[in-house]
A and B are shown apart, each in its own frame.
Chain A
Amino acid sequence: IVMTQSPLSLPVTPGEPASISCRSSQSLLHSNGFNYLDWYLQRPGQSPQVLIFMGSDRASGVPDRFSGSGSGTDFTLKISRVEAEDVGVYYCMQSLQTPTTFGQGTKLEIK
């Protein structure tokens, strides 16, 4: 399954919202009703961390300004108000089928 993110670069003013799109070449909706789509953030010099799993479930400790939505082949990660600590590269990842695949990454930077 090919994962395609857009945009690849995202300059954002602090306090403004941001949105990242992830599209999959096949539906990620399982017969159990769950979408097998996660979002990860890799801050500069750090290991990735999960933000959202199953398309829309916020991981433990993730601020509520982060939200995930979508189903099937189209997904979106939204940040309601960007903060300086949100800088990094965001990846979507599908785990419905092996091989597991990541998107190319979206680099968020502060204007």
Chain B
Amino acid sequence: EVQLVESGGVVVQPGESLRLSCAASGFTFEYFAMHWVRQAPGKGLEWVSLISWDAAYTYYADSVKGRFTISKDISKNSLYLQMDSLRPEDTALYYCAKAGEVGYSFGNLDSWGQGTLVTVSS
């Protein structure tokens, strides 16, 4: 059974940094692209970032480009999101999600974690 478990969400002040983690199990982590998707309270889904299966390619939403960095560690079956220069508008539930096909296929997010809550407030 595929499992994705996010952690690291806390309350931080504007301008601070935070690293989110997503522990993956139940599938061959190194073969699949992975995403971060966030959801502000009461709002819709917003795609944040994507890393290809081999980590050769990373992509970001314009709203986080230059501030967030996605990475993966296949030895730990873990996905990360380093979040710097946090802003109040980054407050959201952050989900990690797995692409449905191996290789350079980025859609069909067939497994999602339960999310970890990041609150940016002074």
- Chain A residues in contact with chain B, CB under 8 A? 36, 38, 40, 42, 47-50, 53-54, 59-60, 89, 91, 93-95, 98-105
Q: Is the CB of A47 within 8 A of B114?
A: yes
Q: Mark B46-64, 1 if CB is under 8 A from A, else 0.
A: 1100100000000111100
Q: Is the CB of B45 within 8 A of A105?
A: yes
**CB-defined contacts of B8 to chain A, threshold 8 Å:** none
- Chain B residues in contact with chain A, CB under 8 A? 35, 37, 44-47, 50, 59-62, 95, 97, 100, 106-110, 112-115
Q: Using known A-B contacts A98-B59, A99-B60, A99-B62, determine if residue A50 contacts B47 with beta carbons closer than 8 Å.
A: no
Contact among A59, A91, A99 with B44 in the assembled complex (CB-CB below 8 Å): A91
**CB-defined contacts of B47 to chain A, threshold 8 Å:** 93, 99-102
Complex formed: what's the CA distance from A99 to B37 in Å?
Answer: 12
Complex formed: what's the CA distance from A89 to B100 in Å?
Answer: 21
Q: Is the CB of B100 within 8 A of A50?
A: yes
Q: Is the CB of A105 within 8 A of B50?
A: no
Complex formed: what's the CA distance from A105 to B46 in Å?
Answer: 11
* Shortest Cβ distance from residue B46 to the other chain A in the assembled complex, whole angstroms: 7
* Shortest Cβ distance from residue A16 to the other chain B in the assembled complex, whole angstroms: 25
**CB-defined contacts of B109 to chain A, threshold 8 Å:** 38, 40, 48, 50, 93
Q: Is the CB of B106 within 8 A of A95?
A: yes
Contact among A36, A47, A49, A94 with B115 in the assembled complex (CB-CB below 8 Å): A47
